[in-house]
Amino acid sequence: MRENTVLKDLLIDDFEQLVASVNGQADGLFFQQQKEAFNNFAALGFPTPKIEEWKYSNVKNIVNERYTFNQATSVSDEDILSLETPNLEGNILYFINGVYQPQLSRIVSPAEQVLILPLAEARHSHADLLATYFNKLVKNESEAFTALNTAFATEGLFIHVERNKVVESPIVLRFISDTRQGNAGAIPRIVVGVEENAQVKFAESFRTLGDQKSFTNIVTEIHVAESANVEYYKVQMESDEASHIGTTQVKMLDNSHFYAATVCLDGGFIRNNLNILIDGQNCDAYMYGLYLPDGKQHMDNHTLADHNKPNSHSNELYKGILVDQSSAVFNGKIFVRPDAQKTNAYQSCKNIVLSPSAKMNTKPQLEIFADDVKCSHGTTTGQLDEEALFYLRSRGIPKHEALALLMFAFCEDVLANIRIDAIRENLEQIVAKKLNAEEK
Amino acid sequence: MLKIKGLQASIGDKQILNGIDLEVKPGEVHAIMGPNGSGKSTLASVLAGREEFEVTGGTIEYKGMDLLEKSPEERAAEGVFLAFQYPVEIPGVTTINFLKTAVNEIRKYRGENPLDAAQFLRLVKEKAKLVNMNDALLKRALNEGFSGGEKKRNEIFQMAVLEPTLAILDETDSGLDIDALRIVSDGVNKLRAPDKATIVVTHYQRLLEYIVPDYVHVLYKGRIVKSGPKELALELEEKGYEWIKNEAADIA
């Protein structure tokens, strides 16, 4: 019998209330899945470091707190303005503590290009369509946080792009944890269905207001059909009191492209799972990541490129700079299944650890069951290149500037791959500022 | 301009320079020659301020200042330039941005206003022409994927832009074919001026056919064991370093 935590007990109560409130309503199809997932969660309990996948990321403190879940607060225009990305045009969708805020959001893409609907609404208005995508890719029976998300999957967003449609404007989901009135929790579920030969780019951004604790448990399911092209960005700029556990589950079919960049700028505790099932031939999957923990922040990125069919390609580059007493984890799995001949899969993880008290754990994990494949992986963890530093200084660039220049260049390797200009430029500025501050 | 007296330096617990004396006056070109491991590159590195080397004795006076008290960036701002034997590849930093930062940091040190984008581009175009530097290389990451010749040319190009008072060329000829050698040497010669000085560190006499020195010094076991006019380089070429080694052994 697993030990119950404060949060688990609270969630059991919350779920009972949910059951009472739903009581025989029309969305029985989804609710059945929620109930099953809740049973999964109740049986699994929150993971402990005894579970290999959670060895270096202990959620004990996070799950022994109380949070008020999915309760929107009133947020002023000023609060929002301070969190906006300059020059970013597109569909901007706001969520406060996980709850969609139509009055703050703007949808600019025409309805014939893309369907963008709050999940709660889609469950009624587009139940059949949603049902073909919802809860199809995730593993509720083995992953507690995913099961928990599925159990409470009432808030979130459904994005659907019909075949041959190109969504010109990016879709930006902005999640704000407002902790000014107390600990706040959010359990949003994002479901994205991109049909054959369609194209879309979207981003998830996470911010905090206030200095109390927040807990975000997000699951994003992305279906990339034949010849479709999806870009996905995740940017985390949360407070030191924020905890974030997110799983992005992707499935790719023949000739499709999926392109992801994850940028962890700030956040007390971050765990990102990015799992890509490459279930088609001639697919291209890219994963870029950058993490810059400081203070006592902990940033854990788990990725999986699961090659299930022949002739596809995946490429991954994750980089991190650690200072102070921060810690980070990179766990990169590449699976090449028996059918997946002629797979090309590459992975690289590079880290700079600038403080003796900072701690980096890297674990590349390749499991290859096909014989005609090209796979490579490499991880490095070290200091800044002294020779490069001397070279810059010998040209008159002061040590502090030279360090900042080298660190920025290190990060730019990842940032340059963000193809939404306004987001990239904003991140470049924030990163440059952060690196400069750290050196001083 | 430069007065080195009794200079001793070590790396780890290995002493490499055992008392170097050298004086360089404005307008002069000095060649430092010597067999491998004699300390030539160490001398160049110590002059530029490389911190792995510990100076254990002696003094370096440059333009009346104690050079050893200055950081590498201060030395650069005071006009010391080291052309690296192995220029470093720095991914993510373009040559052009790097140089702009360098130029303006040096100007800041000297109390001058920074160059604006247009002024800087004009300077870069003019100097690129001087050393036949391909514009396309400037936009690429610093030395990343450059050929040996391109890297060395980039060093001379940087030297042309930064206009040093004292240029130190550390084995600039190594790894260059004859054409690249000529282009690099032409660049160096065009930058010679009555108020500037150059120290050419080289293993072979070949480079000195193109950059003609006023003085040649032979370094062996961390000491200058022989100095002379440019003809000394030819003599070395003929007789080889064994001759110097034997002579040094005789003196000892």
pLDDT of A77 reads: 86
> Is pLDDT of A438 > 70?
no
Minimum distance, in Å, between the CA of residue A350 and any CA atom of chain B: 13
Read off the tokens for A228: 């479709």
pLDDT of B60 reads: 97
Name every chain A residue with its beta carbon within 8 A of the beta carbon of B50: 390, 394
Of A391, A397, A413, the CB nearest to B88: A391
Minimum distance, in Å, between the CA of residue B243 and any CA atom of chain A: 35
Least reliable range by pLDDT among A13-22, A275-284, A327-336, B60-69:
A13-22
Q: What is the pLDDT of residues A31-72, one digit of tens each?
A: 899 999 999 999 999 999 999 999 999 999 999 999 999 888
| C-alpha span between A189 and A34 (Å, rounded) | 12
Least reliable range by pLDDT among A236-240, A379-383, B247-251:
B247-251
Q: Which residue has the tokens 């300077």?
A: B123
Do the Cβ atoms of B32 and B167 come closer than 8 Å?
no
CA proximity to A126, closest of A160, A101, A83, A78: A160
Do the Cβ atoms of A346 and A375 come closer than 8 Å?
yes
pLDDT of A1 reads: 37
Do the Cβ atoms of A65 and A149 come closer than 8 Å?
no
Q: Give the CA distances from residue A50 to residues A43, A58, A147, in Å, rounded to whole numbers and listed in that order.
A: 16, 10, 19
pLDDT average, residue stretch A182-194: 97
| C-alpha span between A102 and B31 (Å, rounded) | 75
Q: pLDDT class for A440, splitting at 50, 70, 90?
A: very low
Name every chain B residue with its beta carbon within 8 A of the beta carbon of A396: 73, 76-77, 102-103, 105-106, 109, 162
Read off the tokens for A349: 């993880």
Q: What ipTM, to 2 d.p.?
A: 0.95
- Which one-letter DSSP state was computed for residue A403? H
Do the Cβ atoms of B22 and B201 come closer than 8 Å?
no
| C-alpha span between A420 and A409 (Å, rounded) | 19
Of A385, A390, A410, the CB nearest to B50: A390
| C-alpha span between A389 and A370 (Å, rounded) | 43
pLDDT average, residue stretch B131-153: 90
Name every chain A residue with its beta carbon within 8 A of the beta carbon of B92: 408-410, 412-413
Residue B64 sits at φ, ψ, to 5 deg, of 80, 0
Q: Going along A182-256, which residue ranges are E strands?
A: 184-186, 189-194, 199-209, 214-224, 229-237, 242-252
Helix (H) or strand (E) holding A121: helix A119-125
Q: What is the pLDDT of residues B165-216, one digit of tens each?
A: 999 999 988 878 888 888 888 888 988 899 999 999 998 888 999 999 999 9
pLDDT of A23 reads: 60
- Residue of chain A minimizing CA distance to B85: A391
pLDDT of A387 reads: 93
CB within 8 Å: B162 and A395: yes
Minimum distance, in Å, between the CA of residue B85 and any CA atom of chain A: 11
| C-alpha span between A57 and A436 (Å, rounded) | 28
Name every chain A residue with its beta carbon within 8 A of the beta carbon of B103: 396
Q: What is the pLDDT of residues A121-158, one digit of tens each?
A: 999 999 999 999 999 999 999 999 999 999 999 899 99
CA proximity to B36, closest of B216, B245, B184: B245
> Is pLDDT of B251 > 80?
no
pLDDT of A67 reads: 94
> Is pLDDT of A24 > 70?
no
Minimum distance, in Å, between the CA of residue B142 and any CA atom of chain A: 10
pLDDT of B174 reads: 83
Do the Cβ atoms of A350 and A379 come closer than 8 Å?
yes
Q: Give the CA distances from residue B229 to residues B2, B197, B214, B232, in Å, rounded to whole numbers and listed in that order.
A: 19, 16, 6, 6
Instruction: Name the more confident of B233 and A275.
Output: A275
pLDDT average, residue stretch A169-180: 97
Residue B117 sits at φ, ψ, to 5 deg, of -55, -45
Q: Which of A5-9, A159-163, B153-157, B199-203 has the highest mean pLDDT?
A: A159-163
Sequence-distant (6+) residues with CB within 8 A of A12 are A42
SS3 B211: coil
Q: Which residue has the tokens 């107390």?
A: A182
Name every chain A residue with its beta carbon within 8 A of the beta carbon of B106: 396
Length of chain B measured in residues: 252
Of A399, A406, A408, the CB nearest to B73: A399
Minimum distance, in Å, between the CA of residue B71 and any CA atom of chain A: 8
pLDDT average, residue stretch B151-177: 92
Q: Give the CA distances from residue A292 to residues A320, A322, A334, in Å, rounded to whole numbers and listed in that order.
A: 6, 6, 24
CA proximity to A295, closest of A321, A325, A266: A325
SS3 B97: helix
pLDDT of A83 reads: 87
Sequence-distant (6+) residues with CB within 8 A of B220 are B34, B35, B38, B241, B244, B245, B248
Name every chain B residue with its beta carbon within 8 A of the beta carbon of A435: none
The backbone region for A378, taken as left when phi is positive above 0, alpha when psi lies in -120 to 50, beta otherwise, is beta
Q: Is B111 on the interface with A (CB under 8 A)?
A: no
| C-alpha span between A406 and B16 (Å, rounded) | 31
pLDDT of B244 reads: 80
Name every chain A residue with its beta carbon within 8 A of the beta carbon of B48: 394
Q: Model's pTM, two decimal places?
A: 0.88
Of B50, B76, B90, the CB nearest to A396: B76
| C-alpha span between A36 and B194 (Å, rounded) | 87
Minimum distance, in Å, between the CA of residue A397 and any CA atom of chain B: 5
Do the Cβ atoms of B7 and B46 come closer than 8 Å?
yes
pLDDT of A26 reads: 47
pLDDT of B252 reads: 56
SS3 A267: coil
pLDDT of A13 reads: 87
| C-alpha span between A273 and A143 (Å, rounded) | 11
Q: What is the pLDDT of residues A76-99, one digit of tens each?
A: 888 888 888 999 999 999 999 999
Helices (H) and strands (E) in chain B, counts: 10, 12
Cα torsion angle, A102, A105, A109, A115, sign: negative
| C-alpha span between B115 and B117 (Å, rounded) | 7
- Direct distance between the N- and C-terminal alpha carbons of chain A, in angstroms, rounded to an integer: 50
Adjacent-strand bridge partners of A352: A321, A382
Percent of residues, chain B, with pLDDT higher than 70: 99
Of B75, B84, B91, the CB nearest to A391: B84
> Is pLDDT of A22 > 70?
no
Amino acid at residue number A143 = E
How many contacts does A have with B, using Cβ atoms within 8 A?
74
Q: What is the pLDDT of residues A221-271, one digit of tens each?
A: 999 999 999 999 999 999 999 999 999 999 999 999 999 999 999 999 999
Q: Let me know if B236 is exposed, middle or buried by CB neighbors in 10 A (0-12, 13-18, 19+).
A: buried
Do the Cβ atoms of A162 and A126 come closer than 8 Å?
no
CA-based angle B42:A404:A346, to the nearest 5? 90
pLDDT of B190 reads: 86
Q: Is A397 on the interface with B (CB under 8 A)?
A: yes
CA proximity to A431, closest of A419, A242, A413: A413
CA proximity to A364, closest of A293, A431, A312, A287: A287
Q: What is the pLDDT of residues A407-425, one digit of tens each?
A: 999 999 999 999 999 999 9
Helices (H) and strands (E) in chain A, counts: 9, 21
Note which residues in 38-57 of chain B have CB less than 8 A from chain A: 48-52
Average pLDDT, chain A: 94
Do the Cβ atoms of B181 and B189 come closer than 8 Å?
no
